[in-house]
């Protein structure tokens, strides 16, 4: 059952999507992200409970509009969970029942090792036949900001397929601001108060 999304989530998505559109406009041909490119759809990554709630709501809506496609998403998610818990040496770095990742510095290191070993695991929301995301409008924030230059603790990062031939200055000029108003942490606290859910997970488990 999907968790109710905070009303402000729609505003957050609109802000991020508008920032992406502007970054794409500035980036021009340096940004090679296109439908069917699945470079960023391989390997598990951590998502928060707001992302998870958005994905579950998107899947619930898909079950109404296209139940067969929704069933395929659920089946791929179940198969992915099985592979990630049974076939990866060291096992899932969290609770294999709830899918919540362990917290702490040591747990982060285990998760990094886990993602390295599972780097070829396709996202269960990715349709293997079309190369398209079946829950694109409900995708996590990590997916929404992938491609354009994004600022993090490690500096300015871009997709390895993008910005070939651009100078550092040209790349920096296309930087995409992420959540400038700090809405996401506020909405996460609101969601936790409503549902009691906290902690990070991965897409396969949340579906």
Contact indicator for 112, 106 with CB cutoff of 8 Å: no
Taking only the tens place, the pLDDT of each residue in 121-151 is 999 999 999 999 999 999 999 999 988 999 8
Bridge partners, residue 76, by sequence: none
Q: Tens digit of pLDDT for each residue in 68-110?
A: 999 999 999 999 999 999 999 988 999 999 999 999 999 999 9
What pLDDT score does 39 carry?
87
- Cα–Cα distance between 40 and 33 in angstroms, integer? 10
Please give the structure tokens belonging to residue 154. Answer: 């490690």
Extended strands (E) in 17-176? 126-127, 132-133, 150-152, 155-157
Q: How many CA atoms lie within 13 A of 138 on its CB side?
A: 22
pLDDT cut 90: percent of the chain above it: 84
Give the integer Cα–Cα distance in Å for 162 and 184.
27
User: Which run of H or of E encompasses 30?
Assistant: none
- Terminal-to-terminal C-alpha distance of the chain: 10
**Domain extents in the chain:** 9-20+38-206
Reply yes or no on whether the pLDDT at 56 is more than 90: yes
What does the block give as tokens for 198? 């906290």
pLDDT at 2 over 60: no
Give the whole-angstrom CA distance, residue 61 versus residue 66.
Answer: 8
**Model confidence at 184: pLDDT above 90:** yes
pLDDT digits (tens, 9 = 90+) for 27-44: 999 999 888 889 899 999
DSSP string computed for 26-89: HHGGG----TT--GGGBS---B-HHHHHHHHHHHHHHHHH-HHHHHHHHHHHHHHHHHHHHTST
pLDDT at 185: 96
């Amino acid at each position: 059952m999907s968790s109710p999304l905070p009303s402000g989530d729609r505003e957050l998505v609109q802000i991020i999507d508008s920032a992406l559109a502007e970054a794409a406009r500035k980036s021009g041909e340096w940004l090679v992200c296109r439908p069917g490119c699945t470079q960023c759809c391989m390997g598990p990554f951590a998502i928060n409970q707001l992302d998870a709630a958005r994905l579950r709501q998107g899947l619930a809506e898909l079950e109404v509009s296209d139940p067969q496609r929704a069933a395929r998403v659920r089946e791929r998610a179940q198969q992915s969970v099985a592979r990630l818990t049974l076939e990866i040496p060291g096992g899932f770095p969290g609770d294999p029942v709830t899918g919540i990742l362990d917290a702490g510095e040591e747990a982060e290191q285990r998760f990094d090792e886990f993602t390295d070993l599972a780097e070829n695991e396709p996202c269960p929301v990715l349709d293997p036949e079309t190369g398209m995301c079946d829950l694109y409008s409900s995708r996590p924030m990590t997916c929404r900001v992938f491609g354009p230059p994004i600022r993090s603790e490690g500096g300015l990062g871009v997709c390895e397929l993008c910005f070939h031939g651009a100078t550092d200055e040209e790349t920096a000029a296309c930087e995409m601001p992420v959540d400038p108003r700090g809405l996401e942490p506020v909405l996460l606290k609101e969601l936790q108060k409503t549902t009691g859910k906290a902690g990070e997970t991965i897409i396969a488990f949340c579906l």
